[in-house]
Amino acid sequence: APIPIEPTLASLQSRVVTLETTGVTATTPNTSDLSTADTKLIFPNKLFVVEGRPFQLYLSSMLPDRNKTVASRVAAFQSINNAKLPYNILFTNTLEVNPDRLGSTATLTLRNAGLADREMQLPLTVYKSAANKSKAVSYLHLGDSLVAQSTTPLFEKFSSGSVTPTSLGTRLNGTVYSEGRGGWKGADFVYIQTTNNHAPLPTGSEATALSLGNDTRNPFIRVATGSDAAEDIKNGYIFDFRFYLNRFSFADPDVVVLNFMTNDINNDGTNIGVANALEAYRIIIASIRSACPNAKIGIAMPMNGNNSYFNPLWYDGYVKTFLKLCELYGNQQNNNIYVIGAHAYLTDQFIYPMNTVSTDSQTGLIEQSLNDGTHPINPIGRHLFAEPLYQFIHAIC
């Protein structure tokens, strides 16, 4: 995704954030204690884990305002396993989760020094998968460049166990096919916008698209007919998941993981970007559900880098979108739809490309500034993003 020019400091200082789910308005950024609106855990009510695979969650990545002072908040993670062994960890930033210590439920609790005598508790349902599970699983990962860069790391994770994966898709990302399409918005997938050179893939061009491995045309949409729902038709076309599977002779996937919103928000701003991302999720999820009623659908939010430009996109865009997705789909497990807290597995710092500002002549210490707050492209960042997706696919099938 392209990197926008940073706004002025004055424009940031005047920014006001409104969180729709609370109706509370808070000015940001600042370094005071968390406000009532900020005492919210940006995490779904489900956790997907695989035995023998510990992982980290980052509290700053689970807060609407991630730049509040550490001293103002503390969190607790609690569970008890079948052996009645209690698991109780307090943390102010990083939580190491040991799946082997978890039962079928857990809780995340946030306490704010600015709200005396209050604790904000999030009950979690834990989906735990045995490390030695033996099963063949087909999955399709759909989204933007974050999907493209995590396609191979995600596939490689299955090599350590007995789950045999098949990754579906028409885009060759590394050595593995997926539907990771760099630069694409949710608006592009459903054809809300027609100006991004992602024209419909004509019938009969399937073999060419597969052989290229990087075809920029849209293989998911077809010309709408009178029997299609009017609200799902965009510029005369409709996203049709069954049409997509059939034209490439793909078997129905066991799992579909969706991961977009970054380019909608980065390129179109938080108002239009959030609205378009949510509309794209609505259309795509409904089409998948209609075509493959038994497929598990996972919705994963990305993370972005921490600096003066990207922080407002986090507060006003990513968080608002994620909270709405939780509201719409967070309790849709009976419909095989799940929200994944993938963003909480990534830090908002230290994993993004940087520019060198200066180098200390005495120690060699390099001063750096953020170059790209969209792509956690070093090996650690790519695997941090792929890990929760792997654990979801492993645990849900």
Instruction: Give residue-wise pLDDT tens across range 76-90.
Output: 999 999 999 999 999
Residue 300 lies in a domain: yes
Model pLDDT for residues 220-275, shown as the tens digit of each residue: 999 999 999 999 999 999 999 999 999 999 999 999 999 999 999 999 999 999 99
Candidate from 27-31, 142-146, 313-317 with smallest mean pLDDT: 27-31
Q: Identify the three-state secondary structure at position 16.
A: strand
Asked if residue 23 has pLDDT above 60, the reply is: no
Indicate which CATH number applies to the domain containing 204.
3.40.50.1110
Residues in contact with 136: Cβ distance below 8 Å, sequence separation at least 6, in sequence order: 163, 164, 165, 166
| Count of Cβ atoms closer than 10 Å to residue 105 Cβ | 13
At 320, the amino acid letter reads K
Q: Determine the pLDDT at residue 40.
A: 85
Q: Identify the three-state secondary structure at position 118.
A: coil
pLDDT band at 335 (very low <50, low <70, confident <90, very high): very high
Q: Residue 145 half-sphere exposure, CB side, CA atoms within 13 Å?
A: 14
Residue 153 lies in a domain: yes
Give just the sign of the alpha carbon dihedral 44, 191, 187, 147.
Answer: positive
Tokens representing 151 are 């396609």
> How far is residue 349 from each of residues 261, 304, 343, 352, measured CA to CA in Å?
20, 9, 12, 7
> What is the number of structural domains in the chain?
1
Residue 1 lies in a domain: no
Question: Cα–Cα distance between 288 and 299 in angstroms, integer?
Answer: 13
Query: Kind and range of the H or E element at 107?
Result: strand 105-112
Asked if residue 2 has pLDDT above 70, the reply is: no
Asked if residue 8 has pLDDT above 50, the reply is: no
Q: Determine the pLDDT at residue 14.
A: 39
Query: Does residue 158 contact residue 128 with C-beta atoms inside 8 Å?
Result: no
Residue 4 lies in a domain: no
Q: Which domain holds residue 390?
A: 9-396
Residues in contact with 52: Cβ distance below 8 Å, sequence separation at least 6, in sequence order: 99, 100, 131
Query: Kind and range of the H or E element at 273?
Result: helix 262-291
Chain mean position to CA 137? 21
> How far is residue 284 from each of residues 40, 69, 392, measured CA to CA in Å?
28, 39, 20
Residue 2 lies in a domain: no
